[in-house]
Amino acid sequence: MDILRKIEKFVSHFAVRGLMKYIVILTGTVFFLDLPMSGRLTQMLYLDRDLVLSGQIWRLLTFVIVPAGSGFFTIITLIFYYWIGNVLEMVWGTNRFNTYYFLGVAFTVIAGMILGFTTIYYVNLSLFLAYAAFFPENTVYVMFVLPVKMKYLAAFQMLYLLYEIVAVPNIALKVAIVLSILNFLIFFGPEYLRKSRRSVRTSKMRKDLDSYSRQKTASMHKCTICGITEKDDPDMDFRYCSKCEGHFEYCEKHILEHEHRSNVINLSEKKKKIN
């Protein structure tokens, strides 16, 4: 996409190598500083539309480093997304990964301004979906016990998102959910459509090849009377009748019980049949 390449070129001017490292460090710092502050630091950083419009514009960025969850779960989440982010940066390169991440942040901000608030949840989800798209067969251990392949977790997440979009009555929330994962749809949607079209063409080619193969392997023997072939009964014998004019082949049952055929047209009999 030309627009995406232009965005990536623009992002390259301020792209940060090892972006997830800095995000995780800042998020972890907020988490530990907020423990003795009873959440007051988080209250100063999360994205709230009314507070942004009142002049607290730093919230448009600082919501990114607001910890998701609490306690031990937050630490596990930070480690998990640090790992995913580093892998994606190695696969894509710094510029493209920064483009993906900052597009996710930008769309999430727009969604938050529509809805009134937002969190880093959907940005992290877009990272997870991107990793699953690249490495669908990789396995993660849910709760450190249950091994599940990434493709199944991603499918579950997508189904849950679809359920949210369909189930919630709030139109603004529907729009916000779609916007929040729009970076994933932009990066992977076209490729998915191309693969789908290739899959349809491949399926059609296979059907055509199967049909051609069946034609090439048509039966060699077929009874003129009943139509049985050697494929219907491999033990069946077929013979040509020496008294029939032409190439008429019969099975064991009908070689002796058939009306002999002639290429000579009997006009009197034909008239009788017509009358």
CB 224 within 8 A of CB 248: yes
Question: What is the DSSP secondary-structure string of 5-56?
Answer: HHHHHHHTTT--TTHHHHHHHHHHHHHHHHTTTTTHHHHHHSEEHHHHHTT-
pLDDT tens digits for range 168-210: 888 888 888 888 889 998 898 877 777 766 666 666 667 766 6
pTM above 0.85, yes or no: no
- For residue 61 the two structure tokens come to 């960025």
- For residue 154 the two structure tokens come to 């991603």
- pLDDT of 97 reads 95
CB 27 within 8 A of CB 65: yes
pLDDT tens digits for range 199-252: 666 666 677 666 655 555 567 778 888 888 877 778 878 788 877 877 788 888
Question: What distance in Å separates the CA atoms of residue 213 and residue 206, rounded to the nearest whole number?
Answer: 10
pLDDT tens digits for range 13-37: 899 999 999 999 999 999 999 888 8
In the chain, the domains with their CATH numbers are: 2-192 (1.20.1540.10), 216-275 (no CATH)
- pLDDT of 175 reads 84
- Band of residue 267 on the pLDDT scale cut at 50, 70, 90: very low
- pLDDT of 1 reads 60
105, 28, 36: which is closest to 69 by C-alpha?
28
- Is 68 or 92 the better-scoring residue by pLDDT? 92
- The residues, ordered by sequence, that sit 6+ positions from 50 with a Cβ below 8 Å of its Cβ are 116
- pLDDT of 231 reads 76
- pLDDT of 208 reads 66
77, 169, 171: which is closest to 125 by C-alpha?
77
Question: What distance in Å separates the CA atoms of residue 237 and residue 78, rounded to the nearest whole number?
Answer: 76
- For residue 202 the two structure tokens come to 């491949």
Phi/psi at 15 (5° precision): -60, 140
